[in-house]
């Protein structure tokens, strides 16, 4: 079944009149973990205390839940709550939020759009996973309405963003911290799981503000994530894409951290793109190694995202600026409507699967 | 006296074997606020719960402390602990950290150094306070050793940073949050106080990594702040610098938020620069208005810093890249030594005063 024992993502839910707490999704139900596992760590309103326990605890807990659900151990029916009775919340407290820029197709497309006539990739791009810090306080859970931001669009021009865009991404959630000054160890010792990310972007604000210190207000108004965090252990892995030139020693891969995740971008119910994660140039283990090579500490709840996932085909682009070539070539929706960028009332949903596994979805409506 | 009743900055301290808690500095002592004011909010290991109470509570508390210390109300001697008996900690939990770029002299100097022959200021600079998000998890308190970061310095070159620099800044600490989607109200309704900031910077890592998304690992290894947070109410204010062109309506000043703060940069005990905060182009009320104009929410503990404070004179520059013109013109210390950038073992201390008021210092040693 979908959402079966091979999946078991974690989230934070509440029933009417009760406090938010940690649960695991199983089919169309939520397993209420604190009473089911007799463990108060799941009574917290965020995954952070559980995520801080580390890899062995994550594995043991997953095995225990699987045993409960497949009948080796009993599960009380009252601990399995129908999804329609619960509300879903932010699954974890975000410590620092970093966004990378790991798709070679996305980076090349943006280079062609924003710097026509010059080499699409900047000189550093193939040498390191370019990234920057975003605003962790405005990471919101799927379903939160997204208010169209106002801002400066050019010299002397202030108003509502006219080029409101999405970025379909995968995000990685850190469980186990590092000490200041010590680069991270193995990826699977630190990263708890993955979430879907929609990094809403105001392209007109961005193009005016971003030199020389990078995107700021163009991104900080909202970043949406999916409510269910898929454990790393559940994700099938594949080899990463070949890299040329060979990366610096600290960025060399120690294992297969390519992910065969297929994303889908849905605008008002119609699929507009199917970005393949498998073609990403920089793999998440390389993002983590880069993020900490200077000694920057990790904290429980750190979130780092891949950057827009785009494939080489037009129908595989993970942002509207690419799909519509900065608005010059609007997309035609199956309904007959066209879009250059998002209009008020539009709903964008990003869904993903990894083989038979679903990663759920992240959704938001422009208000 | 220095650190008198006109000052009374807040910090977090501990005595040996005891838990960190909130105190106020008075002379060479720390007033232990939880017992002195019979208020458990000060038993927390950070200022955040108190800062969240808001402007009226900040004012009432300050008045109460002043009455205690000037004798209208009694203070128990045991609640005044000699400074030499305490250890100082991070004074607050940093939510999001934003760094601006508000000095016209600093931005112009960097433009001349990094883009010689072209207009020093980029087109957006006089229209908005340029800023970006930094790493809040690596903001550390004064005295924390700073490890020289390793990183990519250019294509195929990895190693220890050879251009380790400082940035002398003023930081503003948010007490009262805003809701997502609502720009901030009056500056003094949100901002609790100020801290000194040293935004350590790896210039060689920065110049290779920063296009197109801004500084990342060049800054994220450590940012030091002073342990005593000066209440906004204590700071004398002056008119802000004249701005041309007139800023957008949301950036127009509603009051005098220029600050007559005089900074001093001390390298291994010798003063190398005296940057004047009074000449800053963008004032802190404008930073706050800009930061939230897109609807980005504030949280208690948000920290935003001014960017390097530099004046027009050489002896007023707040970073080594400016003082030594990117290493081409090393500074000569009074001791006879020279410096282009920081060497291992160097200690940098940034001190500041505002009229008769001291803002204390932030210090760090390179290891």
- Look at residues B46, B72, B89 and tell me which one is the last residue of a structural domain: B89
CB contact (8 A) between residue A214 and residue B158: no
Distances (CA, A) of A70 to A4, A31, A231, B207: 10, 13, 18, 55
pLDDT for B141-161, tens place per residue?
999 999 999 999 999 999 999
pLDDT for A306-327, tens place per residue?
999 999 999 999 999 999 999 9
Name the residue of chain B whose CA is nearest to A223's CA.
B296
Range of the structural domain that residue A302 is part of: 97-365
Residue B92 near residue B193 (C-beta atoms within 8 A): no
CB contacts under 8 A, B 40-79 vs A, are: none
Check whether residue B23 and residue B147 sit in a common domain: no
Name the residue of chain B whose CA is nearest to A301's CA.
B137
Check whether residue A74 and residue A223 sit in a common domain: no
Residues of A in contact with B180 (CB under 8 A): 138, 140, 144, 147, 222
CB contact (8 A) between residue A149 and residue B209: no
Average pLDDT over residues B75-95: 97
Check whether residue B166 and residue B239 sit in a common domain: yes
User: What confidence tier does A71 reach under pLDDT thresholds 50, 70, 90?
Assistant: confident
Alpha-carbon distance of A292 to A178, in angstroms, equals: 9
Question: CA triplet A298, A301, A306: central angle to 5 degrees?
Answer: 80
Alpha-carbon distance of B101 to B106, in angstroms, equals: 8
**CA-wise closest residue to A228 among A137, A102, A97, A360:** A360
Question: How many A-B residue pairs are in contact by the CB < 8 A criterion?
Answer: 170
Confidence check: pLDDT of A17 > 90: yes
Any B CB within 8 A of A205 CB: yes
pLDDT for A123-160, tens place per residue?
999 999 999 999 999 999 999 999 999 999 999 999 99
User: What confidence tier does A72 reach under pLDDT thresholds 50, 70, 90?
Assistant: confident
Of B127, B152, B205, the CB nearest to A152: B127
Residue that the structure tokens 């949406």 belong to: A224
Question: In angstroms, what separates the C-alpha of B228 from chain A's closest C-alpha?
Answer: 22
Per the domain annotation, does A67 fall within a domain?
Answer: yes
Check whether residue B73 and residue B107 sit in a common domain: no
CB contacts under 8 A, B 23-42 vs A, are: none
From the centroid of its chain, how far is CA B203? 20
CB contact (8 A) between residue B132 and residue A132: yes
CB contact (8 A) between residue A294 and residue B150: yes
pLDDT for A265-287, tens place per residue?
999 999 999 999 999 999 999 99
Question: In angstroms, what separates the C-alpha of B31 from chain A's closest C-alpha?
Answer: 31
The CATH number of whichever domain residue B43 belongs to comes to 2.30.30.230
**CA-wise closest residue to A217 among B253, B94, B304, B194:** B304
Chain B interface, best mutation among A220, A304, A305, by max B CB count within 10 A: A220
CB contact (8 A) between residue A221 and residue B295: yes
Residues of A in contact with B290 (CB under 8 A): 217
pLDDT for B94-115, tens place per residue?
999 999 999 999 999 999 999 9
Alpha-carbon distance of A339 to A106, in angstroms, equals: 19
Per the domain annotation, does A238 fall within a domain?
Answer: yes
For position B96, what pLDDT does the model report? Answer: 98
The rounded percent of chain B whose pLDDT value lies above 90 is: 97
Check whether residue A118 and residue A139 sit in a common domain: yes
For position B334, what pLDDT does the model report? Answer: 83
- Look at residues A58, A89, A120 and tell me which one is the last residue of a structural domain: A89
Any B CB within 8 A of A325 CB: no
Any B CB within 8 A of A184 CB: no
Per the domain annotation, does B136 fall within a domain?
Answer: yes
Of B95, B127, B220, the CB nearest to A137: B95
pLDDT for B340-363, tens place per residue?
999 999 999 999 999 999 999 999
User: What confidence tier does B71 reach under pLDDT thresholds 50, 70, 90?
Assistant: confident
φ, ψ (nearest 5 deg) of residue B72: -65, -35
Any B CB within 8 A of A135 CB: yes
CB contact (8 A) between residue B131 and residue A210: no
CB contact (8 A) between residue B138 and residue A95: no
Of B123, B144, B296, the CB nearest to A135: B296
Residues of A in contact with B215 (CB under 8 A): 132, 213-214
Number of domains in chain A: 2
**Helix, strand, or coil (residue A240):** coil
Any B CB within 8 A of A288 CB: no
Per the domain annotation, does A1 fall within a domain?
Answer: no
Residues of B in contact with A123 (CB under 8 A): 155
Confidence check: pLDDT of A73 > 90: no
User: What confidence tier does A74 reach under pLDDT thresholds 50, 70, 90?
Assistant: confident
Name the residue of chain B whose CA is nearest to A97's CA.
B135
CB contact (8 A) between residue B213 and residue A132: yes
DSSP string, A119-143: -SS-TTTTTS--EEEE-GGGEEETT
User: What confidence tier does A1 reach under pLDDT thresholds 50, 70, 90?
Assistant: confident
Residues of B in contact with A152 (CB under 8 A): 124, 127-128, 248
Per the domain annotation, does B65 fall within a domain?
Answer: yes
Any B CB within 8 A of A249 CB: yes
CB contact (8 A) between residue B216 and residue A298: no
Binding-site members of A for substrate are: 101, 115, 206, 210, 308
DSSP at B276: B
Check whether residue A182 and residue A310 sit in a common domain: yes
**CA-wise closest residue to A350 among A260, A279, A275, A290:** A275
DSSP H/E element including B238 = strand B237-238
For position B153, what pLDDT does the model report? Answer: 98
For position A43, what pLDDT does the model report? Answer: 98
Of B124, B180, B209, the CB nearest to A209: B124
- Look at residues A63, A89, A115 and tell me which one is the last residue of a structural domain: A89
User: What confidence tier does B335 reach under pLDDT thresholds 50, 70, 90?
Assistant: confident
CB contact (8 A) between residue A127 and residue B205: no
Read off the tokens for A160: 């509502």
Per the domain annotation, does B5 fall within a domain?
Answer: no
DSSP at B240: P
Residue A76 CB: number of other CB atoms within 10 A? 11
CB contact (8 A) between residue A297 and residue B137: yes
**CA-wise closest residue to B346 among B268, B265, B264, B266:** B268
**Helix, strand, or coil (residue A124):** coil
Confidence check: pLDDT of B1 > 80: no
Question: In angstroms, what separates the C-alpha of A180 from chain B's closest C-alpha?
Answer: 7
Residues of A in contact with B158 (CB under 8 A): 248-250
Mean pLDDT across chain A:
97
Name the residue of chain A whose CA is nearest to B297's CA.
A138
Question: CA triplet B6, B12, B14: central angle to 5 degrees?
Answer: 120
**Helix, strand, or coil (residue B321):** helix
Any B CB within 8 A of A243 CB: no
Distances (CA, A) of A186 to A96, A256, B231: 20, 12, 44
Sign of the C-alpha dihedral, residues B283, B284, B285, B291? positive
Check whether residue B174 and residue B151 sit in a common domain: yes
The CATH number of whichever domain residue A119 belongs to comes to 3.90.850.10
Confidence check: pLDDT of B74 > 90: no
Check whether residue A180 and residue A242 sit in a common domain: yes
CB contact (8 A) between residue A152 and residue B209: no
Tell the burial category of A117 from Cβ atoms under 10 Å away from its Cβ (0-12, 13-18, 19+).
Answer: exposed
Binding-site members of B for Mg(2+) are: 219, 223
From the centroid of its chain, how far is CA A149? 21
Residue A348 near residue A363 (C-beta atoms within 8 A): yes
Check whether residue A291 and residue A229 sit in a common domain: yes
Q: Are strands B29-32 and A338-339 parallel, antiparallel or unpaired?
A: unpaired
Any B CB within 8 A of A124 CB: yes
Query: Which residues of B are marked as active site?
Result: 106
Check whether residue B76 and residue B154 sit in a common domain: no
Alpha-carbon distance of B282 to B280, in angstroms, equals: 6
pLDDT for B20-36, tens place per residue?
999 999 999 999 999 99
Per the domain annotation, does B1 fall within a domain?
Answer: no
Q: What ipTM describes this predicted complex?
A: 0.97
Residue that the structure tokens 């604000």 belong to: A205
Of A138, A202, A213, the CB nearest to B130: A213
Check whether residue B134 and residue B273 sit in a common domain: yes
For position B230, what pLDDT does the model report? Answer: 98
Of A96, A122, A137, the CB nearest to B297: A137
Per the domain annotation, does A323 fall within a domain?
Answer: yes
CB contact (8 A) between residue A213 and residue B150: no
Check whether residue A81 and residue A126 sit in a common domain: no
Of A212, A221, A290, the CB nearest to B122: A212
């Amino acid at each position: 079944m979908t959402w079966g024992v091979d999946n078991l993502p974690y989230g934070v839910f509440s029933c009417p009149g009760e406090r938010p707490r940690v649960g695991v999704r199983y089919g169309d139900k939520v397993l209420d973990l604190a009473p089911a596992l007799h463990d108060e760590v799941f009574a917290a309103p965020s995954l952070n205390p559980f995520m801080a326990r580390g890899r062995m605890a994550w594995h043991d807990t997953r095995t225990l839940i699987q045993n409960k659900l497949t009948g080796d151990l009993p599960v009380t029916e009252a601990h399995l709550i129908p999804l329609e009775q619960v509300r879903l919340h932010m699954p974890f407290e975000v410590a620092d939020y970093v966004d990378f820029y790991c798709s070679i197709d996305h980076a090349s497309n943006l280079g062609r759009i924003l710097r026509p006539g010059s080499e699409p990739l900047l000189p550093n791009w193939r040498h390191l996973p370019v990234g920057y810090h975003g605003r962790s306080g405005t990471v919101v859970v799927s379903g939160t309405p997204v208010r169209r931001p106002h801002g400066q669009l050019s010299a002397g021009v202030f108003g509502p963003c006219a080029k409101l865009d999405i970025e379909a991404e995968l995000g990685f959630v850190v469980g186990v911290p590092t000490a200041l000054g010590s680069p991270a160890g193995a990826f699977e010792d630190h990263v708890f799981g993955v979430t879907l990310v929609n990094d809403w972007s105001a392209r007109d604000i961005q193009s005016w503000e971003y030199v020389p210190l990078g995107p700021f207000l163009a991104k900080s108004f909202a970043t949406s994530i999916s409510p269910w965090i898929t454990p790393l252990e559940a994700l099938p892995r594949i080899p990463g894409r070949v890299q040329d030139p060979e990366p610096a020693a600290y960025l060399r891969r120690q294992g297969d951290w390519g992910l065969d995740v297929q994303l889908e971008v849905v605008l008002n119910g119609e699929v507009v793109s199917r970005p393949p994660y498998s073609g990403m140039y920089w793999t998440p283990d390389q993002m983590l190694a880069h993020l900490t090579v200077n000694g920057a500490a990790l904290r429980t709840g750190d979130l780092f995202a891949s950057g827009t996932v785009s494939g080489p085909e037009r129908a595989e682009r993970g942002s509207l600026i690419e799909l519509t070539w900065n608005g010059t070539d609007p997309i035609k929706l199956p309904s007959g409507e066209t879009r250059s960028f998002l209009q008020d009332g539009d709903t964008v949903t990003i869904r993903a699967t990894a083989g038979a596994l679903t990663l759920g979805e992240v959704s938001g409506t422009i208000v």
